A = this chain, B = another copy of it.
């Protein structure tokens, strides 16, 4: 069983301050030398006159003073480096990423284009290949890039998926305009002339068939005519309103609005994304989850069946690898199997996106140092020879290679600074369906063929090359295998499982603990209850109170920091039923009549050193929870007046 190296991070007592300082000084020195050696014959800044000198000194003094006050203010930050912090998904950053970010930021490259960032656009391409290799995408056929974060990566996935879904309609109408015959591969493998397909069939072609059509049209009638013909029928050009009218006019049927399937546990950004893209949040179809907070494949099948009866097109199914609330990893292989069944039995297909923003780095645990896949048994051995991770876990994470697109945030479990999200698309041709030409940058594409202008294909424009360098150096020195990141993942998963076990075995009397099942990743959710708390509102008030006392905003500095989340109906129905049943087993008669849901405490165990000296911290955390809970009882006896239920409820629902 391998452990993270002590020299990967600054350390809880800044043990590696010397190393970090050394690298930063080297970076400034190297950068300054570069400036001086660029054109040594050029004049530097002229010696200032007396007045200017005074002004310059005053300006420097100003800067020192204001900077000093910033440094002081920063001491009010949240101590995410400490094992005492188990709140959100923040932690230490690798020294490699810190040093590379800072060194590169001095040059301030803009990765929108190689013309302004010749070094870091190459670095970004390498980062994409590193991530592709980790999850199992063929880096010669896929495409990827870094984003400001997971929201934009997810946004691009759906933006592209939508354009791929609707592309065959534009292709058919363009082919007619151009007088060109093209054939298309159907779901059963047979080929048919494109013109023979009805609207429903057009909207149920595999992503690769849709993109083959695009390629065929370009080959059949090269030149600006194809572009024009495709554009004049595409959703991107027409917009939803005219596109719907086109469907009505051409096919006599607009079909219902297209939908996106996602589990109730999917990230809240999906609601923003479907609203912004004009898809509409009504079209975000919530698929129920099982007791492990994973998308229920049987429920998914039923949903698809019902949508197909109503002839509702499906743009994409979003599967999550690492829910941000519970660290659940969907059984992606079973979701892929459901799609295969839908293709065979219903003639229905769709893009599958894995939102692996949080959990994507878990795939590093399935990679041997030579890059090959570990067997599940080998993964378990790396994790300490336990019965965990299960075969199903390894299969779920390995299945990322079969998704159509994947988003992964290096700034979450990759332990690098913000901003660093990543988007990976399995079939790189899809990017052409969202391409734009930035006039003042298009040049570089011709000058520098191997590094096309990023800005053509991505939603964002300017973006820091420093972020790419940070991720790159981190991956170079801490590889995406069990020799590197696999160790970090193993450490944080072990830490979470230890906490989960401890919460199950500790004495919280007079309270009892109810836990969610063992997490797939490193987030532990649980709640405390007490026989005197008879309603769900009171129970929630207790756990809100515990959270409040153990949050960074607490009145006195808390000994440990955790956070909490609220599980509500219908997204969490299966989980709620199970929790309510556990709670009733403990004596209460809890029902969620008002739809308020259940507050659970939530601990994200990010500490990369959780395999060293962890027992003390875990005991400290559970003890802190218990002591705060006891405090609630006195708080309650002082604060509860004639109508305790309503008071507590109002405290809980703010």
Question: Does A272 lie within 8 Å of B436, measured CB to CB?
Answer: yes
Q: Which residue of B lies closest to A472 (CB)?
A: B70
Question: Does B103 lie within 8 Å of A116, measured CB to CB?
Answer: no
Question: Does A7 lie within 8 Å of B409, measured CB to CB?
Answer: no
Is A36 part of the contact surface with B, judged by Cβ < 8 Å? yes
Question: Does A553 lie within 8 Å of B56, measured CB to CB?
Answer: no
Question: Does A563 lie within 8 Å of B13, measured CB to CB?
Answer: no
Shortest Cβ distance from residue A283 to the other chain B in the assembled complex, whole angstroms: 5
CA distance A564 to B108 in the complex (A): 21
Is A532 part of the contact surface with B, judged by Cβ < 8 Å? no
Question: Does A462 lie within 8 Å of B240, measured CB to CB?
Answer: no
Question: Does A76 lie within 8 Å of B15, measured CB to CB?
Answer: no
Q: Do A21 and B30 form a contact, CB below 8 Å, given A12-B35, A237-B281, A268-B439?
A: no
Partner of A14, one of B36, B87, B464: B36
Question: Does B446 lie within 8 Å of A654, measured CB to CB?
Answer: yes
Bitwise interface map of A from 71 to 94 toward B, beta carbon under 8 Å scored 1, else 0: 111111111111110011010010
Partner of A477, one of B48, B62, B119: B62
Question: Does A45 lie within 8 Å of B13, measured CB to CB?
Answer: yes
Question: Does B283 lie within 8 Å of A239, measured CB to CB?
Answer: yes
A483-501 interface with B by 8 A CB criterion: none
Q: Do A418 and B280 form a contact, CB below 8 Å, given A98-B106, A553-B118?
A: no
CA distance A548 to B73 in the complex (A): 48
Question: Does A418 lie within 8 Å of B108, measured CB to CB?
Answer: yes
Q: Return chain B residues, CB-CB under 8 Å to A123.
A: 73
Please give the count of copies of this chain that the complex contains.
2
Q: Which residue of B lies closest to A26 (CB)?
A: B71
Q: Which residue of B lies closest to A77 (CB)?
A: B107
Is A117 part of the contact surface with B, judged by Cβ < 8 Å? yes
CA distance A563 to B438 in the complex (A): 14
CA distance A46 to B460 in the complex (A): 44
Q: Do A276 and B110 form a contact, CB below 8 Å, given A25-B25, A462-B150, A565-B439?
A: no
Q: How many A residues touch B, CB cutoff 8 Å?
A: 179
Q: Return chain B residues, CB-CB under 8 Å to A636.
A: none
Is A341 part of the contact surface with B, judged by Cβ < 8 Å? no
CA distance A418 to B114 in the complex (A): 16
CB<8 Å pairs between A and B, sample of 11: A14-B36, A38-B82, A63-B96, A74-B469, A268-B436, A269-B461, A276-B459, A277-B278, A440-B565, A443-B547, A447-B548
Is A198 part of the contact surface with B, judged by Cβ < 8 Å? no
Is A191 part of the contact surface with B, judged by Cβ < 8 Å? no
Q: Return chain B residues, CB-CB under 8 Å to A7.
A: 56-57, 59-60, 63
Is A43 part of the contact surface with B, judged by Cβ < 8 Å? yes
CA distance A437 to B283 in the complex (A): 18
Q: Return chain B residues, CB-CB under 8 Å to A342.
A: none
Q: Return chain B residues, CB-CB under 8 Å to A272.
A: 434, 436, 459
Question: Does A35 lie within 8 Å of B60, measured CB to CB?
Answer: no
Question: Does B552 lie within 8 Å of A115, measured CB to CB?
Answer: yes
CA distance A588 to B440 in the complex (A): 26
